[in-house]
Structure 1
Amino acid sequence: MTTSGSPAAEPRYAVFSVADRRLALPSGAVRRVLPMPRLERLPGQPPVLAGVAVLGGEAVPVLSLGTLFGLAVREPGVYTPLLLITHEGGSLALLVDAVLAVRPADGPMLEDVEEGGSFNGCIAGAWRRGAETVFLLDPARLLTKAEEERLAGFRAVAEERLRAWRGEPAYDEPAQGGAA
């Protein structure tokens, strides 16, 4: 909270790289930066879905931002970071090449980022850092509605598999002990 005599806090951004491009998310959107966990593959998963990680007992889809944006994709390794965000009410991890910093924008937001200048309007702004441009992503616009629906389906499959391994009943099984 700011008082009338103190300046408003500068917004901070998690700055990261994907295929040598500088990207950022609002720091409040990033819950955690994680080391690469073991990823499970699901039947029929598209290339943009790097796999599913089990984090804190929750099945978390891991999206490859390089694949999503049609950029060069590096093979993830043990030190490849993930950005854990909340998306559509569930956790989502974003596979990136490197996390560079959490800091305010290095300069004023550029005015030439057009609303229709990115797929699904996922670029919310940009600023210059030296010779590079840092593109600010809107986490709510990373995926289209159709992609979100497919992702929800993969999340449901992964959650169902976790319940089966825990010995928990599936959602559609009738309760035991009732009259037939």
Structure 2
Amino acid sequence: MPPEAPGDTSLTVLLMRVSGLTLAIRQRDVVEILPVPRLAVVPEAPSVLAGAFQLAGDLVLVLRMATLLGLPAKAEGDPLYHHLLLLPAQAGRPKLALLVDRATDILEAAATILPPGESFNDCVDGEIRIEGALVPLLAASRLLTADEAARTEAFAARAVAREAAFSAPGVA
């Protein structure tokens, strides 16, 4: 979906907590909020990749939002209550979920859309005001650069190969 033009607009957003910060993302960019399942380790994965899991027969790679944004890894609360934000599937790409400390609210908010070039890869493309504080509005489609997206595809292939090795019938 094309980004909104710079200026003010009303959006439905999901608020989340990550490393002590409140962040927002458009609700339309989140398919589902999930509890964190047991994650499989992906061989040779970088620290941004928390692991992978199966959802309805599909592999889902889990990205640590704090690491992705360059924030300190100081998670809030018990990891048992952390959330995954499942992103919409994109043709030919692995499914992705974002690991956040907590999804806290969904609300209508007046957002100020920022002009391009205000953040790395334009991943922060707006801001909303909540109780007098400015909250960054993230653009899910720009959280990864093109190179990072290509690398996630390679890690997905490794995860599938590893799973296949464990599910293939053994030779006696």
- TM-score grouping bracket, smaller chain normalisation: 0.7 to 0.9
Mean alpha-carbon deviation: is it higher for 67-76 or for 20-29?
67-76
Ranges in structure 1 where 5+ consecutive residues have no aligned partner: 1-9, 169-180
* Residues 78-127 of structure 1 deviation map (CA, whole Å, 9 limit, x = unaligned): 2111100125434211001111111111xx3236x342121100112111
Ranges in structure 2 where 5+ consecutive residues have no aligned partner: 1-9
3-state DSSP class of the match of 1:66?
A: helix
Q: Report the CA distance between 1:166 and its aligned residue.
A: 3.9
Identity of aligned pairs, percent?
Answer: 36
3-state DSSP class of the match of 1:11?
A: strand
What is the correspondence of 1:11-90 to structure 2 with a 5 Å cutoff? Answer: 11-74=11-74, 77-89=79-91, 90=94
> Taking structure 2 as the reference length, what is the TM-score of the superposition?
0.81
Residue 92 (1) aligns with residue 96 (2): yes
Between Structure 1 and Structure 2, which shows a larger proportion of strand residues? Answer: 2
3-state DSSP class of the match of 1:82?
A: strand
* Residues 7-60 of structure 1 deviation map (CA, whole Å, 9 limit, x = unaligned): xxx631111111122212211111111111111112210011111122222221
Query: Which of structures 1 and 2 has the larger relative contact order (alpha carbons within 8 angstroms, sep 6+)?
Result: 2
Moved over 4 A (4+): none
CA distance in 2, matches of 1:27, 1:165: 37
> Taking structure 1 as the reference length, what is the TM-score of the superposition?
0.78
Aligned CA-pair RMSD: 2.0
Residue equivalent to 1:144? 145
